[in-house]
Structure 1
Amino acid sequence: MTLAFLRRPLKSLLLHASLAALLMLGAVPGQAEEVISPGATIRLLQGEADAQGMARFGLEIDLQPGWKTYWRTPGEGGFPAEIDTAASTNVTRATLLWPAPERQHFLGFETIGYGADVVLPIDVQLADPGAPARLDLQGAVYVCSDVCTRVEIAFAAEVTPGVTGPGDARIETFRARVPVAPAEAGLALGDAGILQTPEGPALRVVATGATAFGTPDLFVETDPPIAFGAPRLRFTDDRRRVEMIAPLTAPLPPGVALEGLLAGLTLVDGARAVMAEARLAALPAGDTGGFVAEAAGVGLLAMLATALLGGLILNLMPCVLPVLSLKLVSLARQGGAAPRAIRLGFLASAAGIVASFLVLASAMVGLKAAGAAVGWGIQFQQPVFLVLLVTLLTLFAVNLLGGFEIPLPRALADRLNGGRQGQGGSLAGHFATGAFATLLATPCSAPFLGTAVGFALAQGPAEIYLVFTALGLGLGLPYLLVAAFPGVAARLPRPGRWMLVLRRLLAVPLLLTAAWLLAVLAAQAGALTALLVALLMLALGLMLASRQSAVGRQRLASFSAVALAAAALLAPLAATAPPATPDAAPRAVAGLDWTHFDTTEITRRVAGGEVVFVEVTADWCITCKVNERVVLADATVRERLAAAGVAPMLADWTRPDPAITAYLQSFGRYGIPFTAVYGPAAPDGIVLPELLSRARVLEALDAAAGAGPQAAALISRQSRGSQP
Structure 2
Amino acid sequence: MTVFLGLGSLAWGAPASASSDWSHNDQGAVRLISAVTAVGDSGRLQLGLEFHLKPGWKIYWRSPGDAGFPPSIDWKGSDNLADAMIAWPAPHRFSVSGLETMGYKDEVVLPIVVRLNDPAQPAALKASVDYLTCDVLCVPGHADLALELPAGAAEASPQAHLISRFLAQVPSDGALQGLSLVTAQATEGGGLKVVVTANPPLSNPDLFIERADQMLFGKPRIRLQQGGKRVVFETFPVPKTGEGDLFDKPLTLTVVDGSRGMEVVSDVAQAEPGSRLSKIVGMLGVAFLGGFILNLMPCVLPVLSLKVLGLIGHAGAERRVIRAGFLASAAGIMVSFAGLAAAAVAVRSAGAAVGWGIQFQQPLFLVAMVVLITLFAANLFGFFEIPLPQWAAEAGKGRGDSHGMAGHFAAGAFATLLATPCSAPFLGTAVGFALSRGTPEIFAIFLMLGLGMSSPYLVIAAWPQIAQRLPRPGRWMIVLRRLLGGVLVATAGWLLAVLTAEAGTWTGSAVGGLMLAVLLILGFGRRLPAIARGAAVVLLGFGGLALANGGPSRPIQGAPSEIKGLWAPFSKEALAKSVGEGKVVFVDVTADWCITCQVNKATVVYRGKVADSLRAPDVVALEADWTRPDDDIAAYLAGFGRYGIPFNAVYGPGAPDGIVLPELLTDEAVLDALEKARRP
**When the two structures are superposed, what TM-score results if normalisation uses the length of structure 2?**
0.67
2:594 is aligned with 1:621: yes
- Structure 1 pair 249/593, CA: closer, same or farther in 2 (3 Å)? closer
Aligned pair in 2 of structure 1 residues 586, 482: CA closer, same or farther (>3 Å)? Answer: same
Partner letter of residue 704 of structure 1? A
What is the aligned counterpart of 1:680 among 653, 667, 673? Answer: 653
Whole-angstrom CA distance in 2 between matches of 1:228 and 1:593: 37
Alpha-carbon distance in structure 2 between the residues aligned to 1:518 and 1:207: 53
What stretches of structure 2 of length at least 5 have no aligned partner? 1-24, 33-48, 52-61, 64-71, 89-109, 115-121, 131-140, 147-169, 173-178, 197-201, 224-231, 238-242, 256-260
- The 3 A distance-change label for structure 1 pair 380 and 294 is same
Q: Over aligned residues, Cα RMSD in angstroms?
A: 5.0
Aligned to 2:54: none
Q: Please give the alpha-carbon distance, in whole angstroms, between the structure 1 residues aligned to 2:485 and 2:87.
A: 64
Counterpart of 1:480, as a letter, is L
Residue 52 of structure 1: SS of its match in structure 2? strand
1:226-305 to structure 2, matched below 5 A, reads 242=234, 263-265=251-253, 277-278=263-264, 280=266, 292-297=273-278, 299-305=279-285
Once residues 680 and 195 of structure 1 are traced to their aligned partners in structure 2, the CA distance between those partners, rounded to angstroms, is 33
Cα shift at 1:462:
1.5
Structure 1 residue 613, shift from structure 2 partner: 0.6
Q: Are residues 665 and 95 of structure 1, via their aligned partners in 2, closer, same or farther at CA, if it must alter by over 3 Å?
A: farther
Instruction: Show the 5 A alignment for 1:138-217.
Output: 159=143, 191-192=182-183, 205-206=193-194
Counterpart CA distance in 1 for 2:519 and 2:203 is 58
**Change in 2 beyond 3 A, CA 1:561/1:95:** farther
Contact 1:335 1:492 (C-alpha < 8 Å) held by counterparts? yes
Partner SS for 1:496: coil
Cα distance in 1 for residues equivalent to 2:643 and 2:171:
29
Match of 1:330 among 288, 293, 310: 310
- Contact residue 55 and residue 125 of structure 1 kept, 8 A: no
| Alpha-carbon distance in structure 1 between the residues aligned to 2:406 and 2:144 | 79
Q: Is there any run of 5+ residues in structure 1 with no aligned partner, and where?
A: 1-45, 57-70, 73-82, 98-122, 137-156, 163-179, 183-187, 253-257, 268-274, 708-724
Give the 3 Å change call, closer, same or farther, for CA 366–641 of structure 1 in structure 2.
Answer: same
CA–CA separation in structure 1 for the residues paired with 2:586 and 2:453: 32
**d(CA) in 2 for partners of 1:234 and 1:307?**
24
Partner of 2:451: 473
Q: Aligned residue for 1:514? A: 492
1:563 and 2:539 matched:
yes
Q: 2:561 aligns with which of 587, 591, 596?
A: 587
Distance of 2:567 and 2:410 partners within structure 1:
42
For residue 501 of structure 1, report the CA deviation from its aligned partner. 1.4
Provide the residue aligned with 2:320 in structure 1. 340
1:179-220: CA deviation from partner (whole Å, max 9, x where unpaired): x999xxxxx9954258999xxxx9974379999x9xx99875
Residues 504 and 582 of structure 1: is their aligned pair in 2 closer, same or farther, counting only changes over 3 Å? same
Q: Is the 8 A contact 1:262 1:278 kept in 2?
A: no
The 10-residue stretch of structure 1 (325-334 or 521-530) with the greater mean CA deviation from structure 2: 325-334
Q: Is the 8 A contact 1:398 1:404 kept in 2?
A: yes
| Paired residues, number | 531
Distance change (3 Å), C-alpha of 1:618 and 1:468:
same
CA distance in 1, matches of 2:286, 2:494: 31
User: In the alignment, what sits opposite 2:403?
Assistant: 425
- Deviation, 1:124, is 13
* Aligned-partner SS, 2:448: helix
- Contact conserved, 1:403 with 1:545, CA < 8 A, in 2? yes
Q: Equivalences for 1:351-390 in 2 at 5 Å?
A: 351-390=331-370
2:673 aligns to what? 700
Alignment partners' CA distance in 2, 1:474 and 1:294 = 24
1:400 aligns with 2:376: no
Deviation at 1:656, TM superposition (A): 0.7
> Helix, strand or coil: the match of 2:663?
coil
Relative to structure 1, the CA distance from residue 592 to residue 195 in structure 2 (aligned partners, 3 Å threshold; closer, same or farther) is closer
Using the alignment, how far apart are the partners of 1:543 and 1:460 within structure 2?
48
The 8 Å contact of residues 345 and 442 in structure 2, kept in 1 or not, is answered as: yes
Distance in 2, matches of 1:316 and 1:282, equals 44
Partner of 1:655: 628
Distance 1:234 1:501, change over 3 A: farther
Partners of 2:87 and 2:112 within 8 A in 1: no
Secondary structure of 1:319's partner? helix
AA partner of residue 194 (structure 2)? V
What TM-score comes out, normalization by structure 1 length?
0.63
Checking the alignment, whether the CA contact within 8 Å between 2:211 and 2:250 is kept in structure 1 is: no
Q: 1:379 to 1:509 in 2, by over 3 A?
A: same
Give how far 1:221 is off. Answer: 4.9
Q: Which of the numbers 484, 487, 503 marks the counterpart of 2:465?
A: 487
Shift of 1:430: 0.8
Query: 1 CA distance for matches of 2:409 and 2:262?
Result: 53
